Amino acid sequence: MRIVVAYKWTRDPAEATVRADGTVDWSRAKPGLSAYDPVAMELARQLAQATGAELIGVTAGGKGVAVPIASKAALSRGLDRVVIVEDESLADAGRSELAAVLAEVIRYIGDVDLVITGDSSVDVAAKMVPTVLAGELGWPAVAEVAAVSGTGVQAGAVRVERAVPGGVQVLEISGPAVLAASADAAAPRVPGMKELLAAAKKPVELLDLAALKVPPSNAVMTVTGRSRPERKARKGQLIDTTDPAAAAAELVTALRAAGTL
Amino acid sequence: MSVNAWIVVGDQPTIGNLITVARSLGGPVGAVVAGPRSVAETVAASGVDKVVWCGGPDDAPAEASAPAVAETVAADPPRVVLAGRNPGDRVLLGAAAARLKAAVLTGARTVSMDGDDVVVVNAVFGDIADETVTVSGPVALLLDGGSVPPAAGGSASIEEAAATPLAIKVIETRTSGFDEVDLNEAHRVIGVGRGFKAKEDLAMVEALAETINAEIACSRPVAEGLNWMGKDRYIGSSGAHIAPQLYFAIGVSGQLQHMVGVQGAETIVAINSDPNAAVFSQTDYGLVGDLYQLVPAITAALK
């Protein structure tokens, strides 16, 4: 069995600022593994351990996604090897372009039974790359997966649990599939020195984007304007809480005066 | 009839907003339903021009029909495909987008046509910035679905598409014990964060909620990780986006990912023991102090 974890090396918008003209200043944001990817890696690692599967990390993006610190961060979380497409043209790629590239990488790797991703990327948070990827591959996709295990009956078949309104659904999938893990599907471990040292010795394969022959998109997206969204002005009034009862009374009076209560 | 906009629908007919957006673009609106037949019937009565039902067997989830949805959409290629944000609908939209080789946008604030182009004002990077994107070619939009649309009088006929479902089936469903909630319906919402030490302590929040007729919501770690309430109660960039009259952020630090979900709130009150908590820069009324004293005091003051 062969499991791929698709991950992202990127920056957290909480560390970015937006200029008055709407452009984003990332200069103070440090790149790292996207917030929920360690969850996907841990979920995949546990499944790989239980089933004896090979575990392969895959990423595609602009300049910087193949730096050693990025592949080491991924490899130290239990992956056996990583396959990376680094191409500056992918820095601003849309969700469908990225999914199309990942689909070609998965075809290139071959014999992949399962692709596992995180819940969402920390920067774009579209939650669409895994579902478009499944569409490209013609495989079933399930999002918000809370648990996954082998069925023990059929090689490659898996049983997944996912939250549905008011409960949990258990699904059985035979054949290859794409799963997007929920943010709490597994508790990621912080890699130790041993894992980091081992990561430095694991294979990193770089693929050339042009050689993948990714079919082109039928849509052309052009950014024709940028702006910083107007934030609702807030009063920012601090209420003295030395005496909790007096603070509560002041708050209630203010809310009633504003017509909120 | 050539469809201008397709709406893809899974298990829930919560597509009121999608119909509004699709109608605003002009041209015929089609809906393709992968969920139960009853969903297709509700959709057919909602004023769309055409409905195609490609549901699978009873034990197949909506996702099993993703290829059939994609084929239906591609057979009458639209300018725009729309879907709501729930997990099943995302999968259907992804399949349609892949088949059409469409652009995918998920943060649309407004959508309009400019000649043959689709123009979207799209919130990006956790809603910190807006980009106006002009798309030539097909575009797939993930939007807030909205509520179940009211019957519009009359009903579109329901076509059935022959579908070979993917090899995925439901083998068990368990209830979680959490009540379902639609936070968008609430005028007042109390959000709780990790400032609470134990689940039992939420009793004081329930008392406050009852006093002001509010729904209780939470930050992401409270629903995922702590598991104190259902996932439909967490607010944030990947959770609920709400615009109530009043939002109480109690023991919530106020990270970007949470606060984007309450930007639309008319009034925000924050209670946190940390005076440097990010939440205080984004509130109308801030109370720096012990929530264990302040919450009961506020409930008492309201009585």
Per-residue pLDDT of A217-261, as tens digits, reads 999 999 999 999 888 899 999 999 999 999 999 999 999 998 888
| CATH match of B5-160 with 3.40.50.620 | yes
Percentage of chain A with pLDDT > 70?
Answer: 98
Residue A205 has pLDDT above 90, yes or no: yes
Residue A151 has pLDDT above 80, yes or no: no
Instruction: Tell me what pLDDT residue B271 has.
Output: 97
Partner A contacted by B171 (CB < 8 A): yes
> What value of ipTM does the predicted structure carry?
0.93
State the average pLDDT over residues B85-109.
97
CA distance A246 to chain B (A): 9
Q: Give start and end residues of each alpha helix (H) in chain A.
A: 37-51, 68-75, 95-109, 129-137, 193-199, 209-212, 244-257
Contact check, Cβ <8 Å, B132/A100: no
Contact check, Cβ <8 Å, A166/B230: yes
Contact check, Cβ <8 Å, A184/B103: no
Instruction: Tell me what pLDDT residue A244 has.
Output: 96
Q: How would residue B237 be classed by pLDDT, with cut points 50, 70 and 90? A: confident
Contact check, Cβ <8 Å, A261/B257: no
Residue A181 and residue A118 in contact, taking contact as beta carbons nearer than 8 Å: yes
The closest CB to that of B133, out of A167, A170, A222, belongs to: A222
The closest CB to that of A13, out of B94, B125, B179, belongs to: B125
State the average pLDDT over residues A138-165.
88
Top-confidence residue, A166 or B86: B86
Q: Please write the tens of the pLDDT for every residue from A31-44.
A: 999 999 999 999 99
Which amino acid, one-letter code, is at A54? E
Partner B contacted by A15 (CB < 8 A): no
Contact check, Cβ <8 Å, B171/A172: yes
Residue A153 has pLDDT above 70, yes or no: no
The topology under which CATH files domain B183-302 is: Rossmann fold (3.40.50)
Contact check, Cβ <8 Å, B101/A177: no
Percentage of chain B with pLDDT > 70?
Answer: 100
* Superfamily of structural domain A2-212: HUPs (3.40.50.620)
Partner A contacted by B297 (CB < 8 A): yes
Instruction: Tell me what pLDDT residue A87 has.
Output: 98
Contact check, Cβ <8 Å, B176/A168: yes
| Listed residue (A157, A183, A103) closest to B227, CA to CA | A183
Domain ranges, ordered by start, for chain B: 5-160, 183-302
Equal fold, B5-160 vs B183-302: yes
Q: Which of residues 187-226 of B touch A (CB under 8 A)?
A: 212, 220, 224-225
- Which pTM was predicted? 0.91
State the average pLDDT over residues A132-137.
98
Domain ranges, ordered by start, for chain A: 2-212, 234-261
Residue A133 has pLDDT above 90, yes or no: yes
